[in-house]
Amino acid sequence: MPYIHKFIARAEGQKAYEILLQNGYKMREVQRLIDKGRLTCDGAVVSEKNALLSGEICLIDYETNPRGLQPIFECDKFAVFDKPSGVLSHPNGRHCEYSLNDEIWSLYGREASVAHRLDCETSGLIVVGKDKNAVVNLKKLFENRQVYKSYVALVYGKISENLHIEANMDLANDYDDVKMRMRICEDGKGAVTEILPIEYFADIDATLVRAVPLTGRQHQIRLHLFHVEHKILGEPLYGLSRLQIEKILDKEMNEAERILITGAPRLLLHSDEICFKFDGVEYKIKSKFDARNEFYKLVKIKIKDKR
């Protein structure tokens, strides 16, 4: 498990913040750790920095467990990883066993962080700042839409012409729905996606497309393609019932059932190319993943298996 209880001191009537300062933490780190419930005294979470503590003091800390994933590009300020499908961009809770953070922090230290996010099942390029200043400046580029991002996806049906999809979207407002699912709605935030067909595979009735999001909404490409009735193969959220979604998210659905319901064992969406200007230098980074052949094989092999 990445999160561990790390013993730091035995206290006898000392204030919480003093203990952390004595163990090398800066005041801004002290407040953050306490606010996040990371400090404990004899197993109980400490919630006040001025609390008087007596007993065994531990920090609930993230212990990296790298698996050897290396960046495909790096310079002094940032690196770019080709994230595999199924890997979280960052931990989603204390029971998360592995995320990209395991690689990032083991390589660059705790100030390094992703500058944007990819959904867990979406594979592909993700930019990582190596220090706090780089992270802040890179995030601004993404927030200000100064980054060109291009994805490839394998979708149901035949697409013969370019599609310009402009449909506002927002979080689902149905309390019985899955909280992370988005919806198309007139009063939502503006969202625009360009879809360019690359190749149609008649034997599996699916089209490989390039998707370019001109805005950066959560699940934008996934929802827009579902909206125009060309759902991405392997899609685990849109077009499914709540029960089906929960089984997939909770990893209670076996691969055969997942393929039967969604068409693929994973979401067939890959962040393929990213371009931006940083510190006066233009960067154009291309993924090394062969999405065309890998996606086709995933669907074709499974179709054969079902026969």
Q: Tell me the catalytic residues.
A: 119
Q: Which of 132, 104, 100 is nearest to 117 (CA)?
A: 100
Indicate the residue type of 59: L
CA–CA gap between residue 78 and residue 247 (Å, rounded): 37
| 240 C-beta neighbours (distance < 10 Å), count | 18
CA–CA gap between residue 169 and residue 148 (Å, rounded): 21
Residue 78, C-beta contacts closer than 8 angstroms, at least 6 positions apart: 115, 127, 128, 129, 130, 134, 138, 278
Q: Where do we find the tokens 């700042």?
A: 129
Paired with 73 in beta bridges are 80
CA distances (Å), 17 to each of 111, 189, 195, 223, in order? 21, 42, 53, 46
Tell me how long the chain is. 307
Beta strand 269-278 with 123-129 is: parallel
CA–CA gap between residue 49 and residue 10 (Å, rounded): 16
What is the rounded end-to-end Cα distance, in angstroms, of the chain? 40
